[in-house]
Amino acid sequence: MTLDAESRLNLRHDEPDVVAFLLQNDGLVERDDQVDDGGDPAMYWLAMRPSSDPNERYYIRLEWDAYPYKEPSIKFADAIRGLLTVTRAWPNITGYRAGSFDICRPMCREGFLVHPEWNQGSTAWPTEGNPFLWVVETIQFHMDNEYQGRAQ
């Protein structure tokens, strides 16, 4: 995916807060364009874990079209840069649909495609502040408060 220069600058500006937050929660973030084989600057890979089960690790791919103006695609993978079609890569959390490989919540491209009504009011995509951090904090909140194990 080709990411415009403004989106690249905005992501790099907001990235340090995401890195700090994930470090506090025993996670990590990798920008895909750091890969020697022609990575994608629109893509980030996260490693996160639920606080109730520190031995579990989830790998999440965020892919941006226009940052901060549009929500990212969010997919779970079996590893960083891994397969996106593995049901067991997904956590059991309300709205996280392992069988459909999407999240049906107002925080990602997939959710807004299914529910265009979310584009208005309190569920509209937040373009102010640090939306990258907001997405990561929201995923961590769901993992810490709604986690019910790994999908089968």
The percent of the chain in helix, strand and coil, each rounded to the nearest 5, is: 35, 20, 45
- In degrees, to the nearest 5, what angle opens at C-alpha 59 toward C-alphas 56 and 101? 105
This prediction has a pTM of 0.94
Could you say which DSSP state residue 112 is in? H
Domains of the chain (ranges, CATH numbers): 5-146 (3.10.110.10)
Q: What are phi and psi of 99, to 5 degrees?
A: -70, -25
Which pLDDT tens digits describe the chain residue by residue (152 residues)?
578 999 999 999 999 999 999 999 999 999 987 555 567 888 999 999 999 999 999 999 999 999 999 999 999 999 999 999 999 999 999 999 999 999 999 999 999 999 999 999 999 999 999 999 999 999 999 999 999 999 99
